[in-house]
Structure 1
Amino acid sequence: MTVAIVLLTTALVLVVALLVGAAAGKLARMDSATYPSALTRAATTFAAVIALAAAVTAAIATLFT
């Protein structure tokens, strides 16, 4: 049961990170950024969301151990 929860949570975090990255890229493009610049902003935002999720997971894991 816990493996399923971990997999579903991982999938949810990845989907949210992809959506936030796409939104950041779209907003950058609407702000007249070039395509490479918008892609860079989207990738940076995606990486930041993944890093934030990892930090929160590490913080919660220390509470339960």
Structure 2
Amino acid sequence: MTVAVVLLTIALVLIVGLLVATGAGKLARMDGATYPAALTRAATAFATVTTLAAAVTAALAALTT
């Protein structure tokens, strides 16, 4: 893989993670959560997305080697 493809993939994962975190925070806030609680839920969603991306990457790396 070229460096450009890797960088674009990283950027895409970060953008998707930020979108998911924003949505989770907004939904938590609409549900009546306080700002710190909504921020915690958003951070948890972002961490989950990046962890899932790392797990998929590790699984694909194990299959290709």
TM-score, normalising length from structure 2?
Answer: 0.98
Mark the runs of 5 or more structure 2 residues left unpaired by the alignment.
none
Matched, 1:33 2:29: no
Q: Give the corresponding residue for 2:23.
A: 23
- Alignment-mate amino acid for residue 63 of structure 2: L
The CA distance in 1 between the partners of 2:14 and 2:33, in whole Å, is 25
Partners of 1:56 and 1:2 in 2: CA distance? 19
Q: TM-score under structure 1 normalisation?
A: 0.98
Structure 1: state its 5+ residue gaps. Answer: none
Aligned residues between the structures? 65
Q: Which residue of 2 aligns with 1:61?
A: 61
CA RMSD, Structure 1 to Structure 2 (Å): 0.8
1:49: how far off?
0.3
Q: Once superposed, which parts of structure 1, at least 4 consecutive aligned residues long, lie more than 3 Å away? A: none
Q: How many Å apart are 1:19 and its aligned residue?
A: 0.3
How many Å apart are 1:63 and its aligned residue?
Answer: 0.6
